[in-house]
Amino acid sequence: MSAPKILAFAGSTRTGSFNKQLIKIAVAGATAAGAEVTLIDLRDFPMPLYDGDLEAASGVPEQGKRFKQLMRSHEGLLLSCPEYNSSMTGVFKNAIDWASRQEPGEAPLACFAGKVASLMSASPGGLGGLRGLVHVRAMLGNINVLVLPAQVAVPKAHEAFEADGRLKDPKQQAAVEQLGRSLAEMLSTLHSRGS
């Protein structure tokens, strides 16, 4: 049986992003459970703001196509989503919007069909980005992504990490690693049932 393939990224482009640190912990958990994980940075996929006129004139931008192809070629999604004004970030939403655009000969929402996702967040605030995850979960569920129920929100993120990138709280560290592990195990279960 082939290893489950997981695409992992944070919904932030900031170099010192807490969510970029957090996603690496979940990636380690997924890798330890036997998954093949591709960790990307949305900064490497610069896309214009979604604009129907732009799409009509020149189609999905090249970076949007690259991102969408990565989405299509992976079965699982590990997502660490910052909270901006009680919701998801613009760069995250924009990437999802471009990936959702139907191209000729393609089924609607093709790159999301059958995907399984696991969510986490980190924020300097007291709720750890929890309010934003509510919106991310709702959006993904509406575009045919199965979002696993367990999630982790790390509050006071500016104080939460060790210099080596681990979380200071061992229970939080274990919970985030478990998110990656659980996603890998769920995908492996689905593989075995499908074979």
Residues near 114 by beta carbon (within 8 Å), at least 6 away in sequence: 75, 144
Mean local confidence (pLDDT), 16-24: 97
- Separation CA 188–CA 4 (nearest Å): 6
Confidence of residue 103 (pLDDT cuts 50, 70, 90): confident
- Separation CA 30–CA 195 (nearest Å): 21
pLDDT of 19 above 60: yes
Mean local confidence (pLDDT), 171-193: 94
pLDDT of 67 above 80: yes
Domain boundaries, given as residue ranges, for the chain: 5-194
pLDDT at 195: 53
Residues near 160 by beta carbon (within 8 Å), at least 6 away in sequence: 18, 122, 154, 167, 168, 169, 172
Which pTM value belongs to this model? 0.96
Question: What's the chain's average pLDDT?
Answer: 96
The one-letter amino acid code at 101 reads R
CATH superfamily of 5-194: Flavodoxin domain (3.40.50.360)
CA dihedral defined by 24, 30, 36, 38, rounded to 10 degrees? Answer: -30
Confidence of residue 191 (pLDDT cuts 50, 70, 90): confident
What is the DSSP secondary structure assignment for residue 156, as one 8-state letter?
Answer: S
pLDDT at 49: 97
Mean local confidence (pLDDT), 40-47: 98
- Separation CA 154–CA 161 (nearest Å): 10
| Higher pLDDT, residue 67 or 194 | 67
